[in-house]
Chain A
Amino acid sequence: MILAIDWMVFIEKLVLIIAVVSGSLIIAMYSTYMERKVAAVLQDRRGPSRAGPFGIFQPLADGLKLFFKEEIIPDFSSKFLFILGPSLAMLTAMMIGAVIPWGNKMHMFGRDISLQIADINIGILYVFGVVSMGVYGIMIGGWASNNKFSLFGAMRAASQIISYELAMGIALIGLLMVTGTLSLKEMVGGQMDHWWNIFKQPLGFLIFLICAFAECNRTPFDLAEAENELVGGYHTEYSSMKLGFYLFAEYINMFLSGAVMVSLFFGGYDIPFVNDIHLAENIGANWAAILQGLCLFGKIVCFLFLFMWVRWTIPRFRYDQLMNLGWKILIPLALFNMMVTGGLILLKQNHWHF
Chain B
Amino acid sequence: MNGLTGAYVRGGSPLHRLPAGAKLAGLAASCTALVLLRSPASLAGAAAVVAALYAISGVGAAAAWAQIRPVRWFVVSLFLLQLLLADAAGAVSSSLRVVLAVALAGLVTLTTRTADLMACLERCLAPAALVGLDPFRLALLLSLTLRSVPVVAGLVTRVREAQLARGVERSPRAFAVPLVVSALRHADALGEALAARGLDD
Does chain A bind chain B? no
